[in-house]
Structure 1
Amino acid sequence: MHDTNKSIEQLINDQYPNIKGLIATQHGEVAIEYFASGFSDKAPIHISSITKSIVSMLFGVALEQGYIKSVEQRVLDFFPDYSLKRGEKTLPHLRLKDLLSMTAPYKFRSEPYTRVYSSNDWTLASLDLLGGKGEVGRFKYTTPALHVLSGVLSNATGQRVAEYANQHLFAPLRVAPVENITLSDRQQHLEFTRGATQRGWVTDPRGVNTPGWGLVLSTLDLIKLANLYLSNGVWGEQRLLSSSWIRQSTSEQSHCGERRYGFLWWLMPHISDRCYCALGDGGNALFVSPNDEVVVAITSGFIPRPRDRVTLFTEHLLPKLLSDS
């Protein structure tokens, strides 16, 4: 492993200098480790859109526990007091799976960051953006308007998302609990996305945690969460989520051109029929290759337009792991 680490360290220093932490496991054992100076496997870092895939895990837990019966349930089943806008015909028919697969239509052309994040209730603001005249089933990736999913989880379980995650997902994995993080203005928001160091999960003004970004965890935490998927939802002797959810959430549910998407997971069919990943802004990434029993977690300091982590995994890390095994 020492020689492997040395060559990977050189590659990171030369081509991926904003990587802070990297852990690769194969067959449950650590095969590659790298940490930047002053960083460790337990150091907190904002994982950006990898948050989405962890929310997918929480939907799996909620399904296993019976709080959610099926992804075929209507979105508005979880918001009985919501008042439909006049003339709105699409929203009443939207299902959870339309949100999870990014195939719900929305009333915006570009991401509505200001409209959602300047409101006092991000769930309500994102609900108001759902539906309209768009086509159900057409892939439309969004981050701010995804806040509806946190409202679904909160209303279904009776707990805030972070509380539910702490109790039913993080605690069994011995992942330290996360605290709520409140960002008061645009400047705090920018500072957070560029260099969060406090372990936790961002909330809206009503205390509802963000489902599309905002979770601050460590590289070691990510490896544990991904290995839960590799073990088909069982940790130790405890089943946390069903193997059928893992299969369903990491199977193709939608696509955009050549890109394939599950339920808040990106798919990598060019590697294998079961390979999938979570990708976050700035170069955060989580790769799972069940056929090879390989998991790779990468945490990164924020920079715009970082070098592609998929290429790092497919052309360097995975071949290195397989050749050394």
Structure 2
Amino acid sequence: MKLPSLFFIGIICLSCVGKKEPLPMVFPGDTWIEKQPGELGIDSQKMQEALDYLASESGEDGLEEVFIARNGYVVYRGDSIYKKHNIYSSSKSFTSTVLGILTDQGMLSEETFAKEIDTALAELYPEVRLKHFASMTSGYSGNGESRWNEPSADWSWTPYAIDSALFVPGSEYAYWDEAQMMFGRLLTMKARKSLKSIFDEKIGKTIGLGEYEWGTEQDPNLPELTINNGCTGVMINAEQLARFGHFYLNEGNWNGQRLLSREWIGKATQNQVFTDEVADTDRSNVDGRGCYGYNWWVNGEMPTGKWHMPDAPKSLYYASGLHNNMCFVIPEWNMVFVRRGEDGNPAKGKPYVYNSFFKRMALAIKD
């Protein structure tokens, strides 16, 4: 009776030979640990094929500022990952993170009415809450035309000069930078600190973000406050942006230290746009219905019934900025993918190109 038992035990043991335990999640110190893709369950040839596709759809910066980490280990890094420049609208994800920090601290919440912070908003925006700003459904617009000599009502020289609403809050979606500037201003007014100082004190220093700049959009009526621009202006490099993504991948935890609540991370990275309407503005080509959280794009189902990126992992979410400045978090793969540049957006559009990229990248993921 003992021999058969030993025989089956031997078979079981033999079946385990060759199987590798997945590497544990790690967190970078001053530097990241580098591993070969195969050590992290990634087919290097197929990964390179996916990257070659992305390069073919990108501008002249190509893969220079691409940074890929899985389980906290670097598996790919371009030659210019320490080049610092504006990440443009990816900065918005930093702004909503400050909302999360202040929410965790009990200072306010996403349900807080904007008029409770700035009473000047009470007349024209009595029902606007902070969640409406974070989800691009506030309807807020500043007075004046674009400062960039474009046919647009967005980006005026006076974004804090309150103009009439574009729509009833929550009823439509409008990607509107003036609203994000006002959002950042409101958070600053409540905390009496700049967005950057709040972020650095609670998160930036601990995750090793290091030195960086965040541009300002000052309010002449509040000269005592440093008001970082809520929609753009974070000047960092690819390695720093990957740290931010890795922090989100780990749901607000950094090497055992809870810096932001898991509850907030969950809210910010799931769809918060429930309207079927896109506002009739000059920026109506940007559609976040069903696929926009709190200043994070998410791979959600849109009113058309189609997914934002149908061939990409369903758990994927990302920060997106002008000139193809992207930070993707892919929980299914324990991966952070950063692509940065100063070379324009993909001609075929980001959703199309990155859906096609992640479709190819999925073929490289072996476990």
TM category, shorter: 0.7 to 0.9
Question: How many angstroms does 1:314 deviate by?
Answer: 3.1
Q: Given the alignment of the two structures, is residue 91 of structure 1 paired with residue 125 of structure 2, yes or no? A: yes
Structure 1's 107 and 235: CA in aligned 2 closer, same or farther, altered over 3 A? Answer: closer
Match of 1:194 in 2: none
Given that 2:83 and 2:238 are in contact with CA atoms closer than 8 Å, whether structure 1 keeps it comes out as yes
Given that 2:318 and 2:328 are in contact with CA atoms closer than 8 Å, whether structure 1 keeps it comes out as yes
User: Aligned with 1:93: secondary structure?
Assistant: coil
Bigger proportion of residues as helix: 1
Code of the residue aligned with 1:172 in structure 2: it is T
User: Aligned with 1:288: secondary structure?
Assistant: strand
TM-score by length of 1: 0.78
Question: How many angstroms does 1:9 deviate by?
Answer: 5.8
1:135-163 per-position Cα deviation (integer Å, ceiling 9, x unaligned): 22211110123211111221222211122
Q: Given the alignment of the two structures, is residue 287 of structure 1 paired with residue 328 of structure 2, yes or no? A: yes
Code of the residue aligned with 2:214 in structure 1: it is W
Unaligned runs of 5+ in 2: 1-36, 38-43, 220-225, 279-286, 301-309
Code of the residue aligned with 2:201 in structure 1: it is Q
1:132 corresponds to which of 142, 165, 173? 165
Between the aligned partners of 1:267 and 1:304, the Cα distance in structure 2 is 19
Q: Given the alignment of the two structures, is residue 249 of structure 1 paired with residue 247 of structure 2, yes or no? A: no
Between the aligned partners of 2:125 and 2:121, the Cα distance in structure 1 is 11
TM-score by length of 2: 0.70
Q: Given the alignment of the two structures, is residue 267 of structure 1 paired with residue 298 of structure 2, yes or no? A: yes
Match of 1:196 in 2: none
2:216 corresponds to which of 190, 199, 203? 203
Q: What is the Cα-based RMSD across aligned positions, in Å?
A: 2.8
1:42 corresponds to which of 82, 89, 103? 82
1:222 corresponds to which of 235, 241, 249? 241
1:151 corresponds to which of 185, 191, 207? 185
Greater CA drift, 53-62 or 216-225:
53-62
Between the aligned partners of 1:104 and 1:113, the Cα distance in structure 2 is 22
Greater CA drift, 5-14 or 252-261:
5-14
Match of 1:64 in 2: 104
Greater CA drift, 12-21 or 245-254:
12-21
Given that 1:5 and 1:32 are in contact with CA atoms closer than 8 Å, whether structure 2 keeps it comes out as no
Question: How many angstroms does 1:54 deviate by?
Answer: 1.5
Bigger proportion of residues as strand: 1
Code of the residue aligned with 2:139 in structure 1: it is P
Structure 1's 103 and 234: CA in aligned 2 closer, same or farther, altered over 3 A? Answer: same
Q: Given the alignment of the two structures, is residue 18 of structure 1 paired with residue 90 of structure 2, yes or no? A: no
Q: Kindly indicate whether structure 1 or structure 2 has the higher relative contact order, using CA contacts under 8 Å at least 6 residues apart.
A: 1
Question: How many angstroms does 1:299 deviate by?
Answer: 0.5
Between the aligned partners of 2:246 and 2:110, the Cα distance in structure 1 is 24
Aligned residues: 288
Given that 1:26 and 1:295 are in contact with CA atoms closer than 8 Å, whether structure 2 keeps it comes out as yes
Question: How many angstroms does 1:309 deviate by?
Answer: 4.0
Question: How many angstroms does 1:237 deviate by?
Answer: 2.5
Code of the residue aligned with 1:280 in structure 2: it is G
Between the aligned partners of 2:353 and 2:121, the Cα distance in structure 1 is 47
Unaligned runs of 5+ in 1: 179-199
Q: Given the alignment of the two structures, is residue 239 of structure 1 paired with residue 282 of structure 2, yes or no? A: no
User: Aligned with 1:287: secondary structure?
Assistant: strand
Structure 1's 83 and 286: CA in aligned 2 closer, same or farther, altered over 3 A? Answer: closer
